Copies of this chain bind each other. A is one copy, B any other.
Amino acid sequence: MAPIVSEEYKRKKKKEILAGALACFAKKGFQAATIDDIVAYSGISKGAIYNYFKSKEEIYLELLNEQTESANARLEENISMLSSAEEKLEYLFDLYRDMSPFSQERKDRITVQLEFTLHSSRDENLNRILNERGKKFFLKLITDIMEDGQIAGEFRPDADPNHVAGLFWTFMDGAMLHRAINEEYPYRTIIDYVKNLVLQDLKKE
| Chain A residues engaging chain B, CB cutoff 8 angstroms | 27-32, 111, 114-115, 117-122, 127, 130-131, 134, 160, 162-163, 166-167, 169-175, 177-178, 180-182, 184-186, 189-190, 193-194, 197-198, 201
Identical chains bound together, number = 4
**DSSP majority for the A interface?**
helix
Q: With a CB–CB cut-off of 8 A, which chain B residues contact A27?
A: 122
Shortest CB-to-CB span from A38 to chain B, Å, is 16
6 A-B pairs with CB atoms under 8 Å apart are: A29-B122, A131-B181, A166-B185, A170-B171, A170-B177, A174-B175
Q: With a CB–CB cut-off of 8 A, which chain B residues contact A131?
A: 181-182, 184
A-B contacts besides A121-B180, A170-B174, A170-B178, 19 pairs, CB < 8 Å: A28-B122, A30-B31, A111-B121, A114-B118, A114-B177, A115-B115, A115-B118, A118-B177, A121-B181, A131-B184, A162-B186, A166-B178, A166-B186, A166-B190, A167-B194, A173-B174, A173-B178, A174-B175, A174-B177
